[in-house]
Amino acid sequence: MAHQLLETLGLADDPRVVANVASNASVADGVIASMSPTTGEPIAGVRLDNADDYERIVAEAAEAFKQWREVPAPQRGQVVRAIGDALRENLEPLGELVALEVGKIRAEGIGEVQETVDIADFAVGLSRQLHGITMPSERPKHRMYEQWLPVGLVGIITAFNFPNAVWGWNAMLGAVSGDVCVWKPSLMAPLTAIATNAIASKTADAMGHPGIFRLVIGADDVVGERMIADRRFPLISATGSCRMGRHVGQVVAGRLGRTLLELGGNNGIIVEPDADLDLAAKSVVFGSVGTCGQRCTSTRRLIVHESIADQFTDKLVAAYRTITIGDPLEDGVLVGPLINEASVQNFESSIEAAKSQGGEVLVGGERVPASELPERLRGGHFVRPTIVRAGSQNLPIAMEETFAPILYVFSYKTLDEAIEMHNSVDQGLSSAIFSRSLCSGERFTTPSGAGSDCGLVYVNQGTSGAEIGGAFGGEKDTGGGRESGSDAWKAYMRRQTVTVNFGDEFALAQGIRFE
């Protein structure tokens, strides 16, 4: 199937792609292997860019920007519209490549590409709405207004878990804003990046706009460090760990550039006594095990009222025992593998830490034995989704973001106590409450800011699965960035205040006379 997908998406003939590659190919070789987390075998190799390649790509992008910024925004929108149509035509094979390369189930892989299609549609409409405001001037025969201008080159650094959609959020908005995007993808998902960028680039090229979508694939020390230190990038959009984000933020701030950071999440759900428990259970299960717990919005902490804690936890345990684990491209499978062996080891060490801190494993907590897997999957990185009941409110491992399907369960007495527990972690991405009470929902979303401290708040909806219409992002160690909908487009543009004197007199503000 891998070869067929590569053929369908044109990767078999791409000069970056090496058909036969050893699994131990390394950065030192100038070629890396894209490994299937499902089988542990290489899918294909990818040639890496070096320092000279980086310089050439960025220099060409800077030249392309000079032409692209002169194209009227509505015309830029038509290019993005055509890219959205091209992605629609490749929706299934590209979604299947996502599933093959990062281990998402097929529906989630296709859903991710659909998200890029959706943001392209959003950006088309946006291309006619990049408007500023007009302000009254205190000086006679003067006019003041704001306008928004392209920021220039945008460096997009993406993580493995969303190898298509996060680029789409940035690139589609950046393109209609008049920017040229240079994408550095994760080395764990380079094939999806090559296929995605090729679709966008070929579409724009055919419409007379070459070079506005660029791809640079390389090691952090060769490509990543150069990009974040490069003054030709006024904006760096980076998605990844909090540790990575701190480094990127410091380097870019050191040259007075701008960052859009989408970092970790340690997302919690509060379940009130009056909640619809069937609805809550479905949302918790998807949020905690979807993408094998490797979403930044994955549900990691469950805070349930003590009066229903046992009942609701039993309901979840029963649901977890029905989850099918296996090849993410097969029908009926709900959970695929973790991305690599290091992630499995991190999962196992987190479980051991939870036990040593007084936590009780209720279900899961182990690697899937090879004997329970078909022979072709025995090199994959499969673990059992896990529920850990905290022995007390003090479970230090739950304060960390483990990128794996581990759900920590706590109980509470009052809603104020639950909100305090919920907000006690360093990250502030996604949050949810399940309750039929209007007062509880409003308390969690209060305009005073005393409720959830996250950038995303849901009432009777899980933490994972954001729509593109709203701005996506979080607070605290999540980085403060906003992507996707609402007015997130402003991150990709620079604001300019314009004052026009259409009279013939010299006039100053604040009543100052200088004659």
Read off the CATH number of the domain in which 424 is found: 3.40.309.10
- Whether residues 231 and 334 fall in one domain: no
- Helix (H/G/I), strand (E/B), else coil: 180: strand
Rounded-to-integer distance, Cα 14 and Cα 104, Å: 24
Whether the Cβ atoms of residue 16 and residue 185 lie closer than 8 Å to each other = no
Query: What is the b/e burial string over 187-222, where b = at least 16 CB atoms within 10 angstroms of the residue's CB?
Result: bbbbbbbbbbbbbbbebbeeeebebbbbbbbbbbeb
Same domain, 235 and 292: no
Q: Going residue by residue through the chain (515 aa), what tens digit of pLDDT does each one get?
A: 788 898 999 998 999 999 888 888 877 789 999 999 999 999 999 999 999 999 999 999 999 999 999 999 999 999 999 999 999 999 999 999 999 999 999 999 999 999 999 999 999 999 999 999 999 999 999 999 999 999 999 999 999 999 999 999 999 999 999 999 999 999 999 999 999 999 999 999 999 999 999 999 999 999 999 999 999 999 999 999 999 999 999 999 999 999 999 999 999 999 999 999 999 999 999 999 999 999 999 999 999 999 999 999 999 999 999 999 999 999 999 999 999 999 999 999 999 999 999 999 999 999 999 999 999 999 999 999 999 999 877 899 999 999 999 999 999 999 999 999 999 999 999 999 999 999 999 999 999 999 999 999 999 999 999 999 999 999 999 999 999 999 999 999 999 999 999 999 999 999 899 98
What is the rounded CA–CA span in Å between residue 355 and residue 396? 11
Q: Which two tokens stand for residue 311?
A: 């009942």
**Is residue 512, in this structure, part of any structural domain at all?**
no
Asked if 130 and 73 touch (Cβ cutoff 8 Å), the reply is: yes
Name the nearest CA neighbour of 336 among 252, 270, 241, 405.
405
Domain contains 240: yes
Distances (CA, A) of 257 to 84, 153, 223, 263, 476: 30, 12, 18, 18, 20
Q: Both 87 and 69 in a single domain?
A: yes
348 and 246 share one domain: no
* Amino acid making up residue 475: E
Q: Contact, 277 vs 308, CB < 8 A?
A: yes
Alpha carbon distance 485, 132 (integer Å): 17
d(CA 453, CA 373): 42
Assess whether 220 and 301 both reside in one domain: no
Helix H or strand E segment including 228: helix 225-229
| Tally of helices (H runs) and strands (E runs) in the chain | 14, 22
Residue 5 placed within a domain: no
Q: What is the CATH number of the domain that holds 144?
A: 3.40.605.10
Q: How far is CA 507 from the centre of its chain?
A: 50
3-state DSSP: the chain helix, strand, coil percent, rounded to 5?
A: 40, 20, 40
CB half-sphere exposure, 185, CA atoms < 13 A: 30
In a domain, 325, yes or no: yes
66 and 170 fall within a common domain: yes
182 and 70 within one domain: yes
Cβ atoms of residues 302 and 408 within 8 Å? yes
Known active-site residue 262: yes
Give yes or no: residues 395 and 486 share one domain.
no
Query: What's residue 3's pLDDT?
Result: 82
314 and 364 fall within a common domain: yes
Query: The whole model's pTM is what?
Result: 0.96
- State yes or no: is 296 an active-site residue: yes
Among residues 272, 296, 401, 483, the one annotated as catalytic is: 296
- Helix (H) / strand (E) containing 408: strand 406-412
Beta-strand pair 471-472/430-434: unpaired
Q: How far is CA 150 from the centre of its chain?
A: 23
Domain contains 487? yes
- The CA distance from 75 to 139, in Å, is 36
Say if residue 417 is in the same domain as residue 352.
yes
CA dihedral 31, 34, 40, 43 (to 10 degrees): -100
State phi, psi for 304 to the nearest 5 degrees. Answer: -120, 140
Angle at CA of residue 9, ends 5 and 15, nearest 5°: 105
In a domain, 449, yes or no: yes
**What is the secondary structure of 32-68 as a DSSP string?**
EEEE-TTTSSEEEEEEPP-HHHHHHHHHHHHHHHHHH
Same domain for 259 and 277, yes or no, is no
Q: What domain count does the chain have?
A: 2
Reported as half-sphere exposure (CB side, CA atoms, 13 A), residue 336 has a value of 28
The residue among 366, 418, 422, 411 whose CA lies nearest residue 389 is 411
Catalytic residue among 96, 112, 262, 483: 262
What is the signed CA dihedral for 452, 453, 457, 463, rounded to 10 degrees?
A: -100
Domain span at residue 99 reads 59-263+479-495
Predicted local distance difference test score (pLDDT) of residue 25: 80
Instruction: Produce one character per residue of 447-481: b if its CB has 16 or more CB atoms within 10 Å, e if not.
Output: eeeebbbbbbbbbebbbbbbebeebbbbbbbbbbb
